[in-house]
Amino acid sequence: MSELDDLRRVAYGRTSTPEEETAAAAARAELEARERPVEVPAVDEPDVAESETAEVIDEPDDEPGQLRRLVTTWRAWAAPALAGFVVGIVLTAACGAAFFYEQQAAAPEKTTAPTPRIEEAQGTLAIESGNLAAASAVLARPQEAKDTLAALDGSIDPASTRLLRSFSAYTVYAATSIHDEICFLMIDESPNTVVTCAPASGFSIGGLALGRMEGDENVRVHWDGTVPVETRTLR
């Protein structure tokens, strides 16, 4: 028999004396102690997040000398990088300026044509054609005192001059030349006389025009056989 069997026999056997009763109680207590299941204490598993947080918190902020090494490393690459960045900007600006000036030099110079200022809204300046019939009618009318001129170029027929119009600084006349050309005369107060002539066929195409300079303006007057038209543009 085993020891446990002996304990059971004593614990649950018949007793007749107080000594046997005491021995039975002790045997029962011993059996209960031996047969009681062993309770394994539960082990609380640590929370992973708390463990990681604790490990992060417990770690030192920096190893000895690490900050100094980082600063030294930053200085080692920051200075060349900054220098390269500045050089790149300078080179880009220089290339852009060179390209701009090259384009400016290659581009043809643009000139802005002066805007004509027409003082009188009569005549046919926009087309600048010639009306031969109108010019012939002007030259065919009788010569009056206002039409005559004292001093003329030898190429102009004195009996053919006809007053056309007076402007602020000069007066214009129609006439014919000794070669039967149609002529246009401009006479100022000096008196200075400017003359242009054309055959009848040439007058029919574009009329006649004369020009002069007054201060900072270019003055041009055109005669198409009707009313002379003056145009002024800034020089």
Judge if 122 and 14 occupy the same domain.
Answer: no
Average pLDDT, the chain: 76
Model confidence at 225, pLDDT cuts 50, 70, 90, reads very high
How many Cβ atoms sit within 10 Å of the Cβ of residue 130?
24
Q: Structural domain tally of the chain?
A: 2
Q: Is pLDDT of 141 > 70?
A: yes
pTM here?
Answer: 0.48
Q: Is pLDDT of 90 > 50?
A: yes
> For residue range 60-77, what is the model confidence (pLDDT) as tens digits?
455 556 656 665 665 665
Structure tokens at 130: 């010639």
Judge if 230 and 127 occupy the same domain.
Answer: yes
Judge if 27 and 121 occupy the same domain.
Answer: no
Distance CA(225)–CA(136), nearest Å, equals: 8
What pLDDT is stored for residue 113 in this prediction? 42
Domain of residue 218 covers 117-234
Q: Quick one: which of 163, 160, 162, 164 has its CA closest to 122? A: 164
Model confidence at 39, pLDDT cuts 50, 70, 90, reads low
Judge if 17 and 126 occupy the same domain.
Answer: no
Domain annotation covers residue 109: no
> For residue range 9-36, what is the model confidence (pLDDT) as tens digits?
777 777 778 888 888 888 778 778 777 7
Counting residues of the chain whose pLDDT is more than 90, the rounded percentage is: 38
Q: Which alpha helices (H) appear in 107-172, and where do they start and end?
A: 132-140
The residue that leads in pLDDT, 74 or 156, is 156
Judge if 230 and 121 occupy the same domain.
Answer: yes
Q: Quick one: which of 178, 225, 181, 179 has its CA closest to 206? A: 225
Per-state percent for the chain, helix, strand, coil, to nearest 5: 45, 20, 35
> For residue range 91-132, what is the model confidence (pLDDT) as tens digits?
666 666 666 656 665 555 544 444 444 444 333 345 689 999
Residues with Cβ within 8 Å of 90's Cβ and at least 6 positions away in sequence, in order, are none
Model confidence at 184, pLDDT cuts 50, 70, 90, reads very high
| 200-205 contacts at long range (C-beta below 8 A, 24 or more positions apart) | 200/132, 202/130, 203/130, 203/132, 203/135, 204/129, 204/130, 204/131, 204/132, 205/129, 205/130
Domain annotation covers residue 174: yes
Domain annotation covers residue 175: yes
Least reliable range by pLDDT among 93-107, 121-135, 186-200, 201-215: 93-107
Judge if 224 and 125 occupy the same domain.
Answer: yes
Domain annotation covers residue 79: no
Judge if 27 and 122 occupy the same domain.
Answer: no
DSSP string, 40-76: PPP-PPPPHHHHHHHHHHHS-SS-TTHHHHHHHHHHH
Query: Which region holds residue 201: left if phi is over 0, alpha if psi is between -120 and 50, else beta?
Result: alpha
Domain annotation covers residue 129: yes
Domain annotation covers residue 16: yes
What pLDDT is stored for residue 111 in this prediction? 43
Average pLDDT over residues 182-209: 93
Domain annotation covers residue 99: no
Domain annotation covers residue 12: yes
What pLDDT is stored for residue 13 in this prediction? 76
